[in-house]
Amino acid sequence: MSEPSKVRVLSIDDHPLVREGLAALINDQTDMRIVGQGSTGHEAIKLFRELRPDVALMDVRLPDMSGIDAMITILSEFPEARVIVVTSSEGDVEMQRALEGGAKGYMLKSMPPNEVLQAIRKVHAGKKAIPPEIAAHLANHMSDETLTDREVEILQQVAEGNRNRDIADRLFISEGTVKVHIKHIMEKLGANDRTQAITIAVRRGIIRL
């Protein structure tokens, strides 16, 4: 026990190359090491239970579920878990959900390696690691203009090219109601028409194509 115990890191990402990169980077450090890797949300939960890592790096996009949902599940079981959410460069909504869901850090895959390592060290030390540009983005763009579940549902239908009449039929509501929802959606997003609503929603990460 004379050796200083290293920070035990769990890495979840569906891209093997990213996992390799993270593993190589982290295992090169004297103060941390990778104790487990996975590529799905269910693996993440299973591995967390088994390994109880000090820090978990969680990709947002996983084959079976959102990494954020996996994180929330883990946090409900281990409220002390320190999770850093990793993303390629998605929209604002992901950040908000991640932070509201209890992420201790938010990290971009385009960040230089030393910043990645610093983020891990900060989070392990009990601090939060949010890149300043992300924090600023959140403060500005995100207020209370979040869409309701129903509105997102409608928006998704719109993106699929359905007419209001068709959307009404599919969701078992009247066409008038669909109109009202779309009106609200456009107001909240600041869109001129339904087409721009889709564009803005995709950019913000509200819907995925």
Partner DNA sequence: ACGCTTTTCAGGGATATCGCCGAATACTGC
Partner DNA sequence: GCAGTATTCGGCGATATCCCTGAAAAGCGT
Binding site for DNA (CB under 7 A): 148-151, 163-165, 168, 171, 173-177, 179-184, 186, 192-194
Please give, one letter per residue, the 3-state secondary structure of the chain: CCCCCCEEEEEECCCHHHHHHHHHHHHCCCCEEEEEEECCHHHHHHHHHHHCCCEEEEECECCCCEHHHHHHHHHHHCCCCCEEEEECCCCHHHHHHHHHCCCCEEEECCCCHHHHHHHHHHHHCCCCECCHHHHHHHHHHCCCCCCCHHHHHHHHHHHCCCCHHHHHHHHCCCHHHHHHHHHHHHHHHCCCCHHHHHHHHHHHCCCCC
Q: How far is the CB of 143 from a copy of itself (least distance, A)?
A: 21
CB-nearer residue toward DNA: 88 or 199: 199
Q: How far is the CB of 75 from a copy of itself (least distance, A)?
A: 24
180 binds, among a copy of itself, DNA, none (CB under 5 to 8 A by kind): DNA
183 binds, among DNA, a copy of itself, none (CB under 5 to 8 A by kind): DNA
Query: What residues make contact with a copy of itself under the rule CB under 8 A?
Result: 14-25, 88, 109-113, 116, 158-163, 191-199, 202-203, 209
Q: How far is the CB of 180 from DNA (least distance, A)?
A: 4
134 binds, among a copy of itself, DNA, none (CB under 5 to 8 A by kind): none
Q: How far is the CB of 78 from a copy of itself (least distance, A)?
A: 26
8 binds, among DNA, a copy of itself, none (CB under 5 to 8 A by kind): none
135 binds, among DNA, a copy of itself, none (CB under 5 to 8 A by kind): none
Exposure string of 158-178, with b = 16+ CB inside 10 Å and e = fewer, is bbeebebeebbeebeeeeeeb
Paired strand residues for 57: 11, 84
Q: How far is the CB of 94 from DNA (least distance, A)?
A: 20
177 binds, among a copy of itself, DNA, none (CB under 5 to 8 A by kind): DNA
Q: How far is the CB of 6 from a copy of itself (least distance, A)?
A: 19
